[in-house]
Structure 1
């Protein structure tokens, strides 16, 4: 919860993006990656358009346009840098952790063959879960548009900073815990969709053996298994919208469906999801301090006291 009258700043998100860029350049150095230039044009044009919107909004005194465009610009750059950084780190990663992650799941009681079989018998639930899982980008877009429209600028800056911070940490952790994912053969089921982990096996193998080095910036795919960012980001987005008319109830419900669907459609282990959930409150505890630091770096925010305040559960004054 924000308690200071000092204005928030976008600087924290920009510094995080600068750190990601530096990490990306360092990780990719000497690996022979190249960018498919023609396919880099659409994302470059999108970045330019968003930057123009942010500039126009500031110069013409349109704070909603400025805030929304800036948030979209920062999250777009985060996506581009984050995925490329994940690729570069995957190319440098050591032995796969799948055996250890699967063992951790068994120790926690996750019986994935039984879960897959049960899910295959519930096609309607599968469609709902699949739509939720693959709507994460739309959830982010909806959050930014709604918060900009209702002039919730401070909370939007906190959410963006938390999303970038947690995503950056997720990618760095994945370097130490690389995994192919909790893959299953969709041919063995009637209704179960191929998971992202199943579809990305060749890409991850190519990154690791050096045969996959061309970056198509229109087809960037998230390859991180542990922790699951699909478990982190929905919590941050629903937290941000807890006071947004029309979304304060829809966002957390849809976030819950997304998280439940993540093991099936993302090909994640249960521990991936649990780790991703743990990252959300940590990022939301740190982000307010980043966006509202006082003179000489002093913190101008009261601490986020507990998980209920972070997630908005049982606390009408917390921010998502």
Structure 2
């Protein structure tokens, strides 16, 4: 991802606000220290949890700035094509938005679910590491990073402003993330946004929806946490349903995001599978016993 960022960033020449980069650096240092403490004090759950958080933090930082760099070099917007795909599928967004605006309680539930994806990640990592479900934790983090990387690369080829709607036309609906990010995307595309504030990194990927992909991965992860299997899955499903509205995504974005989740999990399982190391010859011989070593059976 770093190499992809360097290639995509040249010659746009982003700069980083050093003062605002301090919190991110401190977080990385703190997590690194936690990993060292966990390993040196034989606390594998602490080491595993800190490692997962460190990997996801690095992925977030690199992923967002890579998405920025790709947006700065992207071509024509794909909004017309994505909107046309939604119409073919049957998504009539004006009707859906008008209907949802009549149910403020549903808006709050879906809105909170959408904006809680980071909380879901924290819950998954803490629960899996606490239960020593290290294989599931490795697969979850790997699948999240792999699918996120693929999502960012695809978005660079299919840039879009998002499924925008004016919140002032509705009584209860909140402004979507896409609505709030219009200025950022425009600034990246015209070259006026060149300073990266690491405390205010915003996801700008439209197609595919990484929100949907990550929520689907969490549904798989919650299966390994007995007390959270059902409520966790319900939480993630609400997040997926809320993604088109509060993320400003097209239906096609969400569908493609869901399609990416299963192969990401399968590939991550293979990539993170722990293979037993071959036993040394001396260990194998000692396991045979003295009679066997003399060739008597």
Fold similarity call, TM over 0.5: yes
CA contact (8 A) 2:133 2:224 kept: no
2:8 corresponds, among 27, 45, 48, to 27
Question: For residue 8 of structure 1, what is the aligned residue in structure 2?
Answer: none
Within 2, Cα distance between the matches of 1:261 and 1:237?
Answer: 15
Deviation at 1:245, TM superposition (A): 2.9
Question: For residue 258 of structure 2, what is the aligned residue in structure 1?
Answer: 277
Deviation at 1:294, TM superposition (A): 4.5
Within 2, Cα distance between the matches of 1:234 and 1:49?
Answer: 27
Question: For residue 122 of structure 1, what is the aligned residue in structure 2?
Answer: 103
**1:239 has 2:201 as partner:** no
**1:157 has 2:138 as partner:** yes
* Structure 1 segments of 4+ aligned residues over 2 angstroms from their partners: 293-296
Alignment of 1:279-298 (within 5 A): 279-292=260-273, 294=275
Within 2, Cα distance between the matches of 1:241 and 1:269?
Answer: 26
Alignment of 1:51-66 (within 5 A): 51-66=32-47
CA contact (8 A) 2:136 2:224 kept: no
Q: Which has the larger radius of gyration?
A: 2
Deviation at 1:238, TM superposition (A): 2.0
Question: For residue 211 of structure 1, what is the aligned residue in structure 2?
Answer: 192
Within 2, Cα distance between the matches of 1:243 and 1:140?
Answer: 14
SS of equivalent residue, structure 2 residue 202: coil
2:156 corresponds, among 175, 181, 190, to 175
Question: For residue 81 of structure 2, what is the aligned residue in structure 1?
Answer: 100
Within 1, Cα distance between the matches of 2:29 and 2:2?
Answer: 17
What number of residue pairs does the alignment pair up?
A: 277
Within 2, Cα distance between the matches of 1:25 and 1:288?
Answer: 29
CA contact (8 A) 2:178 2:204 kept: yes
Deviations 1:43-102 (CA, angstroms, capped at 9, x unpaired): 110011001111111111100000000000000000000000000000000100000000
Identify, as 1 or 2, the structure richer in helix: 2
Within 2, Cα distance between the matches of 1:217 and 1:30?
Answer: 20
Deviations 1:220-276 (CA, angstroms, capped at 9, x unpaired): 000000000110001111211202132111111011100000000000000000000
**1:146 has 2:136 as partner:** no
Distance change >3 Å, CA 207–CA 255, structure 1 → 2? same
Q: Which runs of 5+ in 1 are unaligned?
A: 1-19, 297-320
Question: For residue 42 of structure 1, what is the aligned residue in structure 2?
Answer: 23
Further displaced range: 240-249 or 221-230:
240-249
Within 1, Cα distance between the matches of 2:238 and 2:178?
Answer: 19
1:229 corresponds, among 210, 214, 220, to 210
Question: For residue 176 of structure 2, what is the aligned residue in structure 1?
Answer: 195
Question: For residue 261 of structure 1, what is the aligned residue in structure 2?
Answer: 242
TM-score normalised by the chain length of structure 2? 0.92
Within 1, Cα distance between the matches of 2:22 and 2:238?
Answer: 35
Deviation at 1:282, TM superposition (A): 1.0
TM-score normalised by the chain length of structure 1? 0.85
Deviation at 1:176, TM superposition (A): 0.6
SS of equivalent residue, structure 2 residue 75: coil
Deviation at 1:29, TM superposition (A): 1.9
CA contact (8 A) 2:35 2:51 kept: yes
Q: Which runs of 5+ in 2 are unaligned?
A: 278-297
CA contact (8 A) 2:21 2:199 kept: yes
**1:135 has 2:116 as partner:** yes
Deviation at 1:24, TM superposition (A): 1.1
